[in-house]
Amino acid sequence: MPVLCPSSSSFFTCFLILFSLITINSCNCLAIVSNTKRPPRQLSVNYYTKSCPQVERLIGSITSQQFKEAPVSAPATIRLFFHDCFVEGCDGSILLAKKPGSNILAEKDAEDNKDLRNEGFDTVMRAKALVESKCPGIVSCADILAIAARDFVHLAGGPYYQVKKGRRDGKISTATRVPNNIPHANSTVDQLIKLFSSKGLTVQDLVVLSGAHTIGFAHCKHFVGRLYDYKGTKQPDPSIDPRLLKALKMSCPHVGGNADIVAPFDVTTPFVFDHAYYANLEAKLGLLASDQGLFLDPRTKPLVQSLGQDKVKFFQAFSAAMDKMGSIGVERGRRHGEIRKDCSMHM
């Protein structure tokens, strides 16, 4: 359910209540793709039409149940999909556990991935088990993750779009590949544009995909610098609305705060997938410096304004951008990938 705050004063009272009660893990920001650029291979919406025609219905039965039982599964799984695609491409490598006896950490063990919610992993594992019971050895974990992410976008109020399928599961998952490919909460627009461009994603894709922050939460550590010592000035970030600044400071002290406390990316409709994220940036209500920067930079500001005025336009653009991102570095063919029976283990 959305948090309803009809007036300015009651809005921030409502926000403070929400902020003080929520202690869930969250993403800090959108991830960025790996440096290794592979041309996208052909995927198809109808890939499983003959081999497993009921695949989307099976996955949908799991995602709808998960959303009812644990709504945080939505941002958790969407984030998981981003992190999968941004490191080594959309190949399910984020799901792999470290090999027993090995000293090499897997992607999921990287510092930047340690706060990935279990609900995201659980959703994929549950969906995989059900799909395997009906279509053994047919559907990849990478495709299941892509479909589940779409389902949660729609369940949270966002668009329903067709998911192209045919990915195979990657065989490489190492933590060392993660740090340079995950943007940070204080990433500049220059840094974000460069990283997105390295995978063939445009400035528009950057702004549109950032709209996934319409749901989800971030820990204090990812924005506390904006509250007390922005860029070494010993002063708060001037681009934060004073009311939001006051609310955030009450729950996030400069030092010694509760490490589990989080705040919503979208302080107006934190549980609804809509376009309020963009209006929030215009109103200086962006939580992360990397988000607020999109409204401050002349290259991205017009896109923020346009998307903030038209939800239909945002939904259409988001669907297209997710399709584009979902094709990054996909694994196709036995030589390049596999179909895991257990998403956390190589065959």
Which residues are identified as catalytic? 83
**Could you tell me which residues come within 8 angstroms of residue 243 by beta carbon, excluding any fewer than 6 positions away?**
8, 12
CA distance 330 to 328: 6
Q: Do the Cβ atoms of 15 and 267 come closer than 8 Å? A: yes
3-class DSSP assignment, residue 346: coil
How many CA atoms lie within 13 Å of 35's alpha carbon, on the beta-carbon side? 5
Place of tokens 């941002």: 75
CA distance 188 to 13: 31
- Which of 226, 302, 310, 237 is CA-nearest to residue 276? 310
Render 16-63 in DSSP notation, one character per residue.
Answer: HHHHHH-------S-----S---PPPP-BTTTTTTT-TTHHHHHHHHH
Q: How much of the chain is helix, strand and coil, in % rounded to 5?
A: 50, 5, 45
